[in-house]
Structure 1
Amino acid sequence: MLTLLCAGASLLVAFFVAGCGGAAEAQGGPPQAPPVSVSPAVQRQVIDSEEFSGRLEATDYVELRPQVAGRIDKVHFADGAMVRKGTLLFSIDPRPFEAEVARAEAQLAAV
């Protein structure tokens, strides 16, 4: 029985040693570097520009509404310019409003 136990222990040690020895052989050493192409450096002028295709979208939208209806007489800003709240953007033709005021004043004077 003792012989069988010693034989089993010896077999177990042999398997353990065989397993450890294979790992050392598998590592072998540092891995080989992959081949790369090399060329000499050349000095030349480089143009700093990039071209991309894409789409831009504004983060905020502003809706413009006039306080009165009428024909636009003058635009007081350039396209794409930054404007602040309350800035005069358009002038509306005042003649129809002036005519309406004159008519109302004439009607008031007749009463």
Structure 2
Amino acid sequence: MFRDARAEAGDDWQPRVWVSRSVLPLIDDETRRYFGLRAQVDSKNQFGHLDGGLARFGRSFICEPDVIAVELAADAAVQAADTVLVTVPNQLGVEFNARILEAIVMDIAPSLN
């Protein structure tokens, strides 16, 4: 809709569009221990307060990498985007996040092309 509206307004420049997704692949016992139960709540859109106003938070993708790959491939916003910004929790340190990001790059991202 964004791109169509720009074209209708006569704008011939095509901007890049990105979306953000929280992706937590369950790849081992440690990731299941940290995030497995959270998947039951965070797998749905949520509402909360941000900067004093009501905000909608999109779901988190928390499950096995092959399931996440299928779900992201079916996500219309992901498919229409030029860039997908992946967010992961940073509290667990560099080594933990490197494992998570490796799983995203190796097991999930190839199916999104």
TM range (shorter): under 0.3
Q: TM-score, normalised by structure 2?
A: 0.16
Q: TM-score, normalised by structure 1?
A: 0.16
Higher RCO (CA-CA < 8 Å; seq separation 6+): 2
Q: Greater Rg, structure 1 or structure 2?
A: 1
Bigger strand share: 2
Bigger helix share: 2
